[in-house]
Amino acid sequence: MDFDLSVYVWGLGSRDRRIDSHRSREKIKLVHLLAKHGAKWVPKDSGQINAARRSLLKLTPDYTIEFVWIMSKYKACSREAVEQLLRTPTIKKHTFGHRDRLQELVSEWNQTRHESS
């Protein structure tokens, strides 16, 4: 996953502002399309998960929720990769307002995994 973060919609300077641009929306749509058609996110090491997390932290929390939803819906990565992505205090703080939805997505992922086994 690679987001081009060079365009700030709300201007520069504030650390509290997160990116939500046409370009970032197009990239998450692309992730969705790829996953829908069978593409997998298979991070080779924790560095790749950390890079994805850093990218998501620069965006509004909605992108993290959508990314997890996409990965969950299409089983486009392992549940463990998503859990690693969401494990740090920084990403937990970033997505705090959506923690119930994230827990629901991971919980549904677990149920689906058990049912298909």
9-68: pLDDT as tens digits: 334 344 556 788 888 899 999 999 999 999 999 999 999 999 999 999 999 999 999 999
Q: Tell me how crowded residue 21 is: count the other CB atoms within 10 A of its CB.
A: 18
- Helix or strand (DSSP H, E) at 99: helix 99-116
Higher-pLDDT residue of 24 and 5 is 24
The full set of domain ranges for the chain reads 22-116
pTM here? 0.79
Residue 108 has a pLDDT of 83
Q: Give the other-Cβ count within 10 Å of 51's Cβ.
A: 13
Write down the pLDDT at residue 68.
95
Q: Which residues pair with 19 in a beta bridge?
A: 59
Q: Quickly state the pLDDT bin for 110 (edges 50, 70, 90).
A: low
